[in-house]
Amino acid sequence: MRLTAYLCTSRHGIFYFRFPLPPEFQPARKRGHIKVSLGTREPSVAQRLARFLTLAGQTILARPKVRAMRYDEMRGHVRDHFGKLLQDFRERSAATGPVYGVDMDALRAAQALSEGGPDDWAGAIHPEGADGLLRAFCEARGVAPEPEGRERALMLAELQKGYKEYVCRALEVTADLDTLPLEEQAKSLRRTGRVQERKAATETEALPFNEVLSRYFAEMERTKALAPKTGGEKRDALALMSELVGDKPPADMTKADAGRVANAVEIPWRRAPGM
């Protein structure tokens, strides 16, 4: 690129230095550029400054790309990749049925291959071995540059783990389709019912005592479960209890609260004639 291609001017005649950046240096993997004001209107000064900046930019781009990838980022790439493969396998099995015959043999063979060393495993599943496997994976995931040294060994090991887990889970999906548990739906409904009951009980325990009483008597009236006399006696007794222990939630009541209620209930009997 000619030096003048790095220069442009503003509407006020100020020269700007414009340096293009390759896609691998952009987060969105698209071409971009850096634009810097040179603070001059003199073409000779602008060209001299641009020459230095161009040399500096080209030197930086020529350096080895050694950005280290975090280990958790690496695992995230591998997890997402094989997670999508497993989801596709589940959907395909749900649509067309479990694998069998040659496909089942391939799954079992893949499981056996995943037990070897990372390089041996990569050589068995990719025609170009570990280098080809890593290159294909990095291209698919948009990872640049490709890992080297220790990063390369870590990524290859994670790929083998992901592959092994994918094959194992795919075999489990196939095995589950070989049976038809008739009780599964009933068990699921029972579990859902128990969860809802526990949730309702927890919500009730957190309500103030007077709110619990209000809901209780509303339900009794709706179902006509209490006779008028019995309902009145219950209201009086529970109103007295509310005065003694306060409006705290039932779950927060203590043994001391229970003692106060018991003493209040027993006092009339202790003072009764002949007792």
pLDDT means per 10 residues, the chain with 275 residues, are 71 86 64 82 85 79 61 92 93 91 86 84 88 90 83 92 93 88 63 61 61 72 70 72 72 71 56 42
Task: For residue 79, give the amino acid letter.
Answer: R
pLDDT value of residue 85: 93
**Full-model pTM:** 0.46
Residue identified by tokens 């390369």 is 152
pLDDT value of residue 25: 64
The strand pair at 7-9 and 15-21 is best described as antiparallel
pLDDT value of residue 273: 44
Q: Which helix (H) or strand (E) holds 17?
A: strand 15-21
Could you tell me if 47 and 35 are in contact, meaning their C-beta atoms sit under 8 angstroms apart? no
Edge-first strand listing for the sheet containing 15-21: 7-9, 15-21, 32-37
Question: Which residues pair with residue 20 across a beta bridge?
Answer: 33
pLDDT value of residue 162: 94
End-to-end CA distance of the chain: give it in Å, rounded: 114
Residue identified by tokens 């950005």 is 67
pLDDT value of residue 225: 66
pLDDT value of residue 1: 44
192: phi then psi, degrees, rounded to nearest 5:
-65, -40
DSSP H helices in 114-252: 118-125, 129-141, 150-176, 184-205, 209-223, 228-245
Chain-centre distance for alpha carbon 239: 49
